[in-house]
Structure formats: C-alpha cells, structure tokens
Amino acid sequence: MADAIDQDRTVADLGEFGLIGRINEVVTATAPGTDVLVGPGDDAAVLRVRKGHVVVSTDVMVEGRHFRRDWAEAVDVGHRAAAQNLSDINAMGGRAQWLTVGLAAPADLPAQWALDFTRGFAEECATVGAGLVGGDISRADQVMISVTVLGACIVSPVLRTGAVPGDVLALCGRQGWAAGGLAVLGRGFRSPRVLVEAYRRPEPPYDAGPGAAEAGATAMIDVSDGLLAEARHLAEGSGVTIDVETAAFDVPEPLVAVGQALGADPMQFILGGGEDHSLLATFPGGVALPEGWVRIGTVGARGELPVTVDGGAYEGPTGWTHF
C-alpha cells in the first residue's frame, strides 16, 4: 500500500503526474487477479474478453449534488462511487470486471483525499473481483467523478422491458436505509448510525443479479433513484402496470425511529428512497424466487397509472430526479 501523504500537501503540490503515480501505487496494491493485459499508465487499458455478453455503464458524481465531503470520508465516497456502478452491471444479471475513473478536482484538494478515495473505490471493486484499470485527472472548481464499468453476462442480459402481466414484483437487498441516513444528515444529525453508514457505504446484493437471471427474471433494475421511480421504468419499458404492496415490507426499527423524530412516515423512505442499490425485478408467477428475494407486488396489463401502491395512486415522493 502507498505511504500516506502529508495532510498539508494538495493535488496541486503533487502535480497531475505525481498524483497519477501515487494513485497507480494504490491501484497496484489493491488489484485483484483480472484479465488485464495493460493497466493504468498507457493511453488505454487492454483487456482479455472471454465468453458472454459485454455490458458497459457510466455514472457521474458531482460534489454538492451527489455527495458532501463533510458528510462522508473520502474512502466512503470511493466505496459509493464504485458500488453504484457495480450495481448497474448486477442489475443486468452480470458481473463487473473492469472500471475506469475520471477525477476532476480543485487544486487545493488534499492529495490524501484522492488516495483515500482510490483506496475505497478499489476495496469495493475487490468485493466482486473487479479491477480499476485506468482513468483521467483534471482540474475543476469542485470534485467531480465519472466512472465507466465493463462487465459480462454469461446468460442473456436482463433488460427493463421484459415484464408481462401475471409476473410478480420482487426486491432483493436493503431498501430505504440510505434515504433514512440522508434525511438524518440533512437535519445535522449523525444517528441512528446504522442508517448514516448505509448512506455512506451502500451494500448492494452483488450476487443477486446473476442469480435472478439464471432463475428466469423477466425484467430487472437497480434502485438508485427510488423504488417507485424504478418500478415506473420497468412498467413503462415493458408496457405493463405494477402494483406495490406495502404490507410486504417489514419496516426496520431505525427507520421507524427516524420517522418519529422527523414527523415522517417511514414507508416514504422505502418507497421513495434510493442509493441502497437494492434490486427490483419481475419473475413469472409460477417461478420460485431465488434466495434473498421478497415478493412485494404484482404486474398487470397496461392501465392509466403505470405504478400504483396498494391498488391506488400514491401521493408521496417516488424518487430522485436530476432536473
């Protein structure tokens, strides 16, 4: 592992190539065994592609919009940046293999922040055997992070467009915890700690995507912007309606506590919350759900409302929108 940098040194002190050199030390020290023929340091990475479908996704994180440095340590931001991209491949029924990162930062950003971010990013990638194989660095007025992930689906990728009437809607993973943590941080608090940590470091169910694909999932999506918002994507993409049943959810005690403290219905965190990166999928009605999946609703024929809750319109928040 690369030695720590004096806390007073900034990215400008190290310079572009000095920072890249230190980042490469972190990447080399944390790299898992992957099919990387040429890694960081050249104009592009060279990768060995094996059988299956190659799947690619890109996400952007902007300081002040997607994260705050006073709410999360650099290593946590690294874990979050990796998790949201690894989850995109998971939602296709695949497994992530390689990632690249574009980092733009102010000249006075502590250089150690960039290295700690890289360490957190690499640690999260290692949980699925993926590797950081390259990227770019530039100057900006605030920290901006762009990640591209490449992976593979051994079976056919599961899209958002395959749900049919008669399917069941199912969920895998924690849901609403990150939203509860964000609500706590937004009020200037740091507890319940379990919710704050869920916001800082999500725990996507990385094995659930490939398992759902093998079990015959007809459509799937990761819950990054809100459960009902993602359900709407599935419904509109597939030309069906989806009804979510609130009785299917066990509301965890920390969400109950936050709801009471903030005067909010804790179900709002579950239905409208994102960033836990749980998986939402539809399965044929006669199929036994894979381990870890819970039935939370049904799929019907196209109707006036693409998504309903307990059979009717829902008036609460359904998820995050960027504009």
Point out the annotated binding site for ATP.
135-136, 160, 224
Q: Determine the Cα–Cα distance for residues 8 and 200; give it in Å rounded to an integer.
A: 25
Q: Which residues are annotated as a binding site for Mg(2+)?
A: 43, 57-59, 88, 136, 222, 225
Sequence-distant (6+) residues with CB within 8 A of 247 are 310
Q: Determine the Cα–Cα distance for residues 256 and 268; give it in Å rounded to an integer.
A: 11
**Beta strand pairing call for 293-301 and 168-172:** antiparallel
Q: Which residues are annotated as a binding site for substrate?
A: 66, 275, 320
**Structure token pair of residue 113:** 């922040």
CB of 266 closer than 8 Å to CB of 259 = yes
The tally of CA atoms less than 13 A away on the side-chain side of residue 311 is 1
Q: Which residues are annotated as a binding site?
A: 43, 57-59, 66, 88, 135-136, 160, 222, 224-225, 275, 320
Q: H/E element holding 280?
A: strand 278-283
Q: H/E element holding 229?
A: helix 227-238
Q: Determine the Cα–Cα distance for residues 24 and 132; give it in Å rounded to an integer.
A: 10
Q: H/E element holding 136?
A: strand 131-139
Sequence-distant (6+) residues with CB within 8 A of 46 are 36, 37, 38
Q: Can you say how many angstroms the Cα of residue 147 is from the centroid of all Cα atoms in its chain?
A: 12
**Structure token pair of residue 269:** 């965190």
